[in-house]
Amino acid sequence: MNIVITGASSGIGLALAKAYAKPGACLGLIARNPAKLTEIAQFCRQQGAAVVPGILDVTDVQALKQWLLDFDHQHHVDLLIANAGVTCIMPQDGGNESWHNTQQVLNTNIYGVFNTVYPLIEPMRQRQQGQIAIISSLAAYRGLPITPAYCASKAAIKAYGEALHGWLKRDGVQVSVVCPGFVKSDLSDQFPKPKWFLLSAEKAAQIIQRGLARRQAAIDFPWPLAVGMKLLAMLPSAVAEGILQVMGYGTAKRHR
Ligand SMILES: NC(=O)c1ccc[n+]([C@@H]2O[C@H](COP(=O)([O-])OP(=O)(O)OC[C@H]3O[C@@H](n4cnc5c(N)ncnc54)[C@H](OP(=O)(O)O)[C@@H]3O)[C@@H](O)[C@H]2O)c1
């Protein structure tokens, strides 16, 4: 099985790379950090997988496209996991998200995902074979005042993945949108508030791998948080915002 994973140098992507590292697997592992990527590549090779590391920034549209097409030419991609992402949390002094951070989140989490997925759509359609997984978040279901740009980015790629699913299934290409809750990682460590139902990256990778093997269109977990976020989205804004405030995901108080 030929698998490409972006953001494979840490957290969920790293755990997925380890989970898929088996004899017979060929892994294309993408991230920016060469040292971390070398380490994970070495681990995966020890497990019997072939590894093609790609030291790439997913916002570099041309370089990423070329790498993906070259990889696909050599090893037809069976599974593409668009996982790389960053976050941005509102400053706790009541200030605004910085424009720099906002742009970085939108560029990485939205364009980075489009840059990853788009080049392989036509090759997969032509072969009538392949699977695409888009790692969104349960934060896509309802905007959290504590992290506006991140929620917006995750909602955008959730909608993109759902639309691709409906379009590409007739061409034999399966698309899954993955919406995790809190997973222990460098990214979630930046979140200053309670992380309900926190899972390890290894457990998250196991759930994602199982959902992808079943070709599920939506992989939402853990279920109590998934149900909570979906219910929250159905409530009137004032009620939903009250609940988010109580849970600690509301806006910080202004310090004057
Ligand atoms: N952890 C959670 O609670 C949680 C919950 C829901 C959804 N998610 C989503 O899961 C995905 C993985 O997050 P994580 O928690 O595993 O975070 P993480 O440990 O911080 O890992 C993020 C990965 O993305 C890579 N990355 C970031 N920017 C990149 C860029 N411009 N180009 C290439 N690679 C880039 C990083 O590698 P380099 O720095 O080496 O480039 C790293 O491998 C993200 O999309 C995140 O939004 C996470």
pLDDT of residue 117: 98
Residue among 211, 204, 165 at smallest CA distance from 185:
204
Q: Is 141 a known active-site residue?
A: no
On whether residue 254 sits in a domain, the answer given is no
On whether residue 256 sits in a domain, the answer given is no
On whether residue 206 sits in a domain, the answer given is yes
pLDDT in tens, 124-177: 999 999 999 999 999 999 999 989 999 999 999 999 999 999 999 999 999 999
On whether residue 152 sits in a domain, the answer given is yes
Q: State how far the alpha carbon of 34 is from the alpha carbons of 8, 31, 37, 124, 221, in Å.
A: 11, 8, 5, 29, 31
Q: Identify which of 187, 191, 198, 249 to mutate to test ligand 1's pocket (most ligand atoms within 8 A of the CB).
A: 187
Of the residues 111, 118, 141, 150, only one is catalytic, namely 150
Residue ranges making up the domain that contains 28: 2-247
On whether residue 141 sits in a domain, the answer given is yes
247 pLDDT above the threshold of 90: no
On whether residue 252 sits in a domain, the answer given is no
Going 133 to 134 to 138 to 140, the CA torsion angle's sign is: negative
Residue located nearest, by CA, to atom 41 of ligand 1: 32
On whether residue 156 sits in a domain, the answer given is yes
On whether residue 253 sits in a domain, the answer given is no
Rounded Cα gap, residues 95 and 108, in angstroms: 23
Q: How many domains does the chain have?
A: 1
For residue 53, the domain's CATH number is 3.40.50.720
